Structure 1
């Protein structure tokens, strides 16, 4: 069976979905609130630009990608589920917990797939890190540290809502569950919203995590680290190829009444090639074909919105 997917919302990230689905051979249609943009993309990718209503009524389209303003994700997704479509929703799936829970509920009632677009979960370097941790390469996992710093993206959505979902998805997956405590320190620096934030997480099994995000940093930093009893791993998304995943066999031990440590040089790990968005969309297509539950499914989508509301209670207007 050929899976046909339409993209609704063709802004900056939506266009990436359009291009990638076209390359995969699964793009059936696109829709955007800007008629000129829709027409230009329609011509560029040789695919029809249609209204959302037309796409929902087309029984030959099995799946949708929604890359809309977050306030529109829930209502549009629920209509899609009721029309018999499976849906990949870009993060976040909603702006408040009740809306996110309702979207997940309707998907379940209608028997449709809900996948959230946490693209870094499909990065081959993160997948390699995950495999190493599960295989005991760093002993018992104790702490997770995620940093996402840079300059820009003042889009009416504060730094927590714009940047932290990426990191929350990775942390929640590594932790294997929801945190029992969320603490946040937010700072307004150059805009009228939160420009930088530190989010501390504590899980029932004693695992802890910290996420640092900023859109007013003079330098870029995109690192995800896991700390265990026998070593540490770092995924550095900005590092050169071949150096994106480093294993540090650092050791810390009790020496009488004190603690001692021994550092080690980075041991760079080999990883598979592949583009995260391509891998994410192929996973979505495979889930539609096999009816398997997406790796980034409804439970994770709802939990991410719950934590975002705790971390930044004033939901964005976008």
Structure 2
């Protein structure tokens, strides 16, 4: 049962990610209810955590529910997010928050001026390795950032309505936008549909007004897993590798580069691994949501961030007939 001192949260959508949210909010003492269009699935999850399984209409009508987490198929997110906000509930909506720019704007518009917390589930923004990387960039430890590239590849999951770009790239786009603090002025996308009409491989190439360039490579048809974000600076380079062991997830490379009459020369050095505090990204994200509701903290990943990602995805989308 939820703690009396914490906001009460309902999780709508009891699939894989909704189950993770329900478990996490239960561990934090804030889970009050779960909901799913499959009543048996909702009841099983509710029984696991000792809370109620209720219809989504009852979640929205319940004055005891403070906030709602939406972990639904993405094509349902926008309508349900607007309904949550119109019901006066705080909102955490999983990525992508919509499948079109117009729908994402509806969510942002619904949140504006309400005083409600409305955040996007960009969970990797709360990873201790990314937070440390973000601090290194902000402090100038890497020098001027020149290039950022990400590789997020693996085998599966195949979704009927989402290709590799829309399903996978939001993770890294959120990180890249946070590091640059800018909106790209140019976006170019390339995709390959191998198994069916939806792209299984996708590249995005981004150019930012301050001169930073970036690319994102995603694949759900790859024989190995890679979850790597690399930042190239004028003084040093850093790699956030989420597949690496915890003590090696953030590597700092101080390679030496210099220019001579014969051109650029380089000397490679071993990486320094940055010590990281413990903490699961989802637990930190959920705790942040509760903090924003209870104490008015500024959301780190507002739904406007979700809209910014959707705008980039829309510009980079490659259609396949």
The interval holding the TM-score normalised by the smaller chain is over 0.9
Deviation at 1:189, TM superposition (A): 1.9
- Alignment match of 1:291 (pick from 296, 306, 311): 296
1:2 equivalent to 2:6? Answer: yes
Q: C-alpha separation between the residues in 2 aligned to 1:242 and 1:69?
A: 34
1:171 equivalent to 2:176? Answer: yes
Q: C-alpha separation between the residues in 1 aligned to 2:248 and 2:115?
A: 43
- Alignment match of 1:122 (pick from 122, 126, 130): 126
Deviation at 1:2, TM superposition (A): 2.2
- Alignment match of 1:143 (pick from 141, 147, 167): 147
Which structure 2 residues correspond to residues 46-125 of structure 1 after superposition, within 5 A? 46-125=50-129
CA contact (8 A) 1:10 1:67 kept: yes
Cα shift readout 1:186-223 (whole Å, capped 9, x = no counterpart): 11122331000111110000011111101111111111
Q: C-alpha separation between the residues in 2 aligned to 1:290 and 1:121?
A: 20
| Local SS of the residue matching 2:149 | strand
1:186 equivalent to 2:184? Answer: no
CA contact (8 A) 2:150 2:216 kept: yes
| Local SS of the residue matching 2:248 | coil
CA contact (8 A) 1:185 1:197 kept: yes
Runs of 4+ in structure 1 off by over 4 angstroms are none
CA contact (8 A) 2:120 2:306 kept: yes
| Local SS of the residue matching 1:292 | coil
CA contact (8 A) 1:229 1:251 kept: no
Q: C-alpha separation between the residues in 1 aligned to 2:242 and 2:75?
A: 30
Q: C-alpha separation between the residues in 1 aligned to 2:106 and 2:319?
A: 20
Moved more, 220-229 or 284-293: 284-293
Q: C-alpha separation between the residues in 2 aligned to 1:110 and 1:271?
A: 37
Cα shift readout 1:129-185 (whole Å, capped 9, x = no counterpart): 111221222111111111101011111111001100001000000010210100111
CA contact (8 A) 2:153 2:220 kept: yes
Could you say which residue in structure 1 is the equivalent of 2:265? 260
Aligned length: 315
Could you say which residue in structure 2 is the equivalent of 1:231? 236
Q: C-alpha separation between the residues in 2 aligned to 1:180 and 1:112?
A: 31
| Local SS of the residue matching 2:246 | coil
1:214 equivalent to 2:211? Answer: no
1:195 equivalent to 2:192? Answer: no
Could you say which residue in structure 2 is the equivalent of 1:269? 274
CA contact (8 A) 2:60 2:87 kept: yes
Taking only aligned residues, the RMSD between alpha carbons, in angstroms, comes to 1.3
Q: C-alpha separation between the residues in 2 aligned to 1:191 and 1:79?
A: 34
CA contact (8 A) 1:82 1:110 kept: no
CA contact (8 A) 1:200 1:209 kept: yes
Q: C-alpha separation between the residues in 2 aligned to 1:42 and 1:135?
A: 45
| Structure 2 residue ranges without an equivalent (≥5) | none
CA contact (8 A) 1:141 1:229 kept: yes
Q: TM-score, normalised by structure 2?
A: 0.95
Q: TM-score, normalised by structure 1?
A: 0.96
Which structure 2 residues correspond to residues 32-43 of structure 1 after superposition, within 5 A? 32-43=36-47
Deviation at 1:49, TM superposition (A): 0.4
